[in-house]
Amino acid sequence: MPLYHHLGNFPQKRHTVFRKPNGDLYAEELVSTHGFSSTYSNVYHCYPPTLVKEINEPYSVEPKIARAKHLKHTSLKGFKVKPTKDYLASRVPVLVNNDLHISLAAPQESMTDYFYKNSMADEVIFIHEGSGVLKTGYGQIPFEYGDYLIIPRGIIYQLHFNDENNRLFITESFSPIETPRRYRNHFGQLMEHAPFCERDIKRPQDLETHDEHGDFKIMIKKEGLIYPYVYGTHPFDFVGWDGYHYPWAFSIHNFEPITGRIHQPPPVHQTFEGAGFVICSFVPRLFDYHPNAIPAPYNHSNVDSDEILYYVDGDFMSRKSVEKGQITLHPAGIPHGPHPGTVEKSIGAKETHELAVMIDPFRPLMLTEQALGLEDPDYYKSWLY
């Protein structure tokens, strides 16, 4: 999110002397993206961020592909993923391609014994169930049901949950997560017709400086491997920072739907984008108000993109039955549309209370071995009855 922010203390000029009360220098770190050509932040640490004491053997979390090529409407029952105590162990990849990985997670315990850094992907963590605090060196962001947590690559974090009942829908993007270009002016400001604005963005607050020595385990993900690092100082030893590269959050409940006299196409629901895909938010809204409008979506042929819909809550007038946490995958190459009887039923309806997250990738998605264990094998027949 290109929005300047700062917390804590830092010198008036970059790359100049900045001393501790005892006369020692604070350690400056430039955290930059796309080389030196995109967003960055300047961070000031109590100690250099390079004090590695130990590196243990990496282990693989590479998704195991079960169905690389397919042309079949698919449904996954996401809440069949069993709750798991550990956060990293709870992450179950289900749909992947070279642009993004989609995972489900049901962690029961907060991250207290280690920290995590994804060095290859921006993460979008949608909070389906649960609440807590995202903790980083940049500050803290409280989260709750309906929040998208956007954690740019390279940021070390912990998730602290308020209880053990948590359900997460996670997108790892191998390109930066951005707001839609058509909603930004050339200064980067969200324009008046955008479905949300800067006031809706949750930025880090409550910077806590951890001036601590010890053994601090940081699990670093790169190219499908987790590398267990042990650092000699606490990773949240920031005394101050400023810039444009930091974690932030946005609530799906603050997305203002765009409606019209006739049915509006999915791009009006777009919330974020990466290279090769978009993320959309379907929220409660008034239906179309043309006197002869059909609120149910029309049949649609996916020519250039797969379509993923993650059902969060509410009723969906185009489906006969859906469950919380259900994922539908409608692959490019064949049409999909409303279930029998739902078109006629939708005529005259005034509003919907549905809540869902949609992802449209422009390269085909592959199903993992874990995904097959969640699959409803007869979903592709659901238009017959």
How far apart CA 76 and CA 379 sit, in angstroms, is 9
pLDDT digits (tens, 9 = 90+) for 126-170: 999 999 999 999 999 999 999 999 999 999 999 999 999 999 999
Inform me whether the pLDDT recorded for 318 exceeds 90: no
Q: Are 317 and 342 in contact (CB under 8 A)?
A: yes
Give the pLDDT of residue 75. Answer: 97
pLDDT digits (tens, 9 = 90+) for 344-365: 989 999 999 999 999 999 999 9
Domains for the chain: give ranges and CATH numbers: 51-63+82-238+246-251 (2.60.120.10), 256-381 (2.60.120.10)
How far apart CA 127 and CA 251 sit, in angstroms, is 9
Give the pLDDT of residue 385. Answer: 75
Residue for token digits 């829908």? 169
Average pLDDT, the chain: 95
b/e for 189-209, b at 16 or more Cβ within 10 A? ebeeebbbeeebbbbbeebeb
pLDDT digits (tens, 9 = 90+) for 246-256: 999 999 999 99
Active site residue 253: no
Q: Catalytic: which of 213, 234, 263, 290? A: 263
pLDDT digits (tens, 9 = 90+) for 97-116: 999 999 999 999 999 999 99
Q: Taking residues 303-312, what's their average pLDDT?
A: 95
Sheet holding 277-282, edge to edge: 74-77, 326-330, 307-313, 355-361, 277-282, 270-274
How far apart CA 164 and CA 83 sit, in angstroms, is 9
Nearest residue to 104 (alpha-carbon basis) of 120, 119, 82: 82
Q: 3-class SS at 126?
A: strand
Q: What proportion of the chain, given as a percentage, has pLDDT over 90?
A: 93
Give the pLDDT of residue 169. Answer: 98
Range of weakest confidence among 198-207, 214-223, 311-320, 333-342: 311-320
What are the start-end ranges of the H helices in the chain?
87-90, 342-346, 369-372
Quick one: 82 exposed, middle or buried, by C-beta within 10 A (0-12, 13-18, 19+)? exposed
Report residue 277 as tokens.
Answer: 């895909």
How far apart CA 144 and CA 346 sit, in angstroms, is 32
Give the pLDDT of residue 315. Answer: 78
Give the pLDDT of residue 322. Answer: 87
How far apart CA 106 and CA 86 sit, in angstroms, is 9
On whether 336 is known to bind a ligand per the annotation, the reply is: yes
pLDDT digits (tens, 9 = 90+) for 175-195: 999 999 999 999 999 999 999
What DSSP letter does each residue of 331-362 carry, written as one string?
Answer: -TTSEE-PPTTHHHHHTT--EE--EEEEEEES
Strands 115-118 and 213-222: parallel
Give the pLDDT of residue 1. Answer: 60
Phi, psi (degrees; rounded to nearest 5) at 14: -65, 150
How far apart CA 334 and CA 71 sit, in angstroms, is 8
pLDDT digits (tens, 9 = 90+) for 18-64: 999 999 999 999 999 999 999 999 999 999 999 999 999 999 999 99
Q: Which are the contacts of 308, defined by CB distance < 8 A and separation ≥ 6?
A: 95, 102, 327, 328, 329, 358, 359, 360, 361, 365
pLDDT digits (tens, 9 = 90+) for 169-178: 999 999 999 9
How far apart CA 169 and CA 161 sit, in angstroms, is 15
Distance separating the N- and C-terminal Cα atoms of the chain = 45
Beta bridge partners of 335: 301
What DSSP letter does each residue of 157-212 carry, written as one string?
Answer: EEEEESSS--EEEEEEESS--B--GGGB-TTSPBPTTSSS-GGG-B--B-------
Q: Which are the contacts of 12, defined by CB distance < 8 A and separation ≥ 6?
A: none
Give the pLDDT of residue 319. Answer: 78
How far apart CA 154 and CA 316 sit, in angstroms, is 38
Q: Enter the pTM of the model.
A: 0.97
Q: Are 104 and 78 in contact (CB under 8 A)?
A: yes
Confidence of residue 316 (pLDDT cuts 50, 70, 90): confident
